[in-house]
Amino acid sequence: MTTYRAIGLVMWRELLERGLSKSYALSWLFLAILVGAGIAIPGFFGDDGSVRTYRVATVGAENVGQGELARSRAPGEPGSYRIDLTKSADSDAAAAAVAAGSVDAALVGGGSNVEVLVSRDTPSELESALRQAVLSYQVQRMVASGDVSERAVPIISGETVRAVNVEPEYDADAAAEDRQFVISQVALVLLFMAVMTTGSWVLLGVTEEKTNRVSEVLLASLRPWQLLAGKIIGVGLLGLLQFGSIAASLIVAVRLVLDITLPEVDAGFLAIALVWFVLGYLVYATGYAAVGAIAHRPEDAQNAAFPLMIVTVAGYMIGILYVSGNPDTVWSTVLTLVPVTAPFVLPVRAVSDSVALWEQLAAFVLMIGFIVLLIRVAGRVYAGGVFNYRTRIKARQAYRSAEF
């Protein structure tokens, strides 16, 4: 049979056998419960029933009246908020108070040009409450004066009040970069979890097949590297399905249950993170498969994989601790070109635009070449170690004794 068909059959076997197994279902259930608990627990313990106090500065008698209306409409119930008012001498003083954080918002201006001064830290519920109070106050004044025809349209449409951010130095590009940086850290954590989880599946799967001698039957028709590649791809798809579904459920729950607006993600960065997520999994999963072949029983598989776990943890720590704070150093550039550290390094450097295009291309080419070579070498180690049932042998011995 052709190479692609051989790899596809092994992949399909892994999807059916492991995807329908009890352990896979239990791990999926565990992750779902963990995510659900992470969303539900803050709802039970995050709100202690206290009343949040928002401080609002006002300038002028008209704004005092609007502030009083907003304060009277504040719920003031446990778990909600109330509003305290304070007077400012002028608009500049009110803006300075908002920028300094001594008040949460301010009402300035008057007539048909009222401004709600806010900052990045101003809660959206307070801003909305002040805007509604200003419009309601203007409607009441309009009805009391009897002058309805000319002022009705701008008041009803909300044109007479606007929110103004008192922090003009706020850099939207820097804020977007900060959000991307946080997302890159999340991507590193997900990659680390995926490697440790799916890597252990590959490790134990290879060791179990070696112990019950299923691999002998499969190797009668397949080349070792084909069997290895199909197993890695199949387990990787299961892991991607599991993590992807949990992540999608988490996003939906965060938006619908917690009513949190998630930050926008740059499509280019998302593509880079996804590509290196896949490449990183392929490298480490191949290593775990080779280690599983030289372990003589499942109980010893974790001990045999300990050096590889150290490399995984080291790559993760380098990316999240060193490179994230030093993306432009020579060592960061070198680590970008090292296949075992590149998946943890390049996404972090890509966020701050510290990695040049030639570095990305060079790292990608080196990574692909390393994966191809690693699968070939791991397949030979697999062939030499899979028929050893008595004792654990070294990778070098397994490679030399391979007959395939």
- For the segment 338-388, what is each residue's pLDDT rounded down to a tens digit? 988 988 888 888 877 778 888 889 999 999 999 888 877 877 777 766 666
* Number of independent structural domains in the chain: 2
Across residues 34-44, what is the average pLDDT? 58
Residue 173 has pLDDT above 60, yes or no: no
204 Cβ contact list (under 8 Å, min separation 6): 292, 298, 301
Q: How much is the pLDDT for 263?
A: 56
Residue 78 has pLDDT above 80, yes or no: no
Q: How much is the pLDDT for 205?
A: 76
Is 258 found in the same domain as 116?
Answer: no
What φ, ψ does residue 28 adopt, rounded to 5°? -65, -45
Read off the pLDDT of residues 214-272 as tens digits, 9 standing for 90 and up.
Answer: 766 777 777 777 777 888 888 888 877 877 777 676 666 666 655 555 555 567 777 88
Is 258 found in the same domain as 182?
Answer: yes
CA distance 31 to 29: 5
Is 290 found in the same domain as 382?
Answer: yes
Q: Which of 120, 142, 170 is the last residue of a domain?
A: 170
Compare 114 and 217 and report the one with higher pLDDT.
Answer: 114
Is 291 found in the same domain as 152?
Answer: no
Domain that holds residue 16: 3-41+173-401
- 219 inside domain: yes
Q: How much is the pLDDT for 355?
A: 80
Is 191 found in the same domain as 166?
Answer: no
Tokens of 402: 């391979």
Compare 333 and 241 and report the one with higher pLDDT.
Answer: 333
The CATH number of whichever domain residue 137 belongs to comes to: 3.40.190
Q: Note the helical H segments in 117-171.
A: 124-145, 152-156
Is 216 found in the same domain as 142?
Answer: no
- 278 inside domain: yes
Four-residue CA torsion sign, 326, 328, 332, 336:
positive
Angle CA 237–213–199, to nearest 5 = 30
Is 257 found in the same domain as 385?
Answer: yes
pTM over 0.85: no
Of 135-144, 293-302, 365-374, 386-395, minimum mean pLDDT range: 386-395
Is 144 found in the same domain as 25?
Answer: no
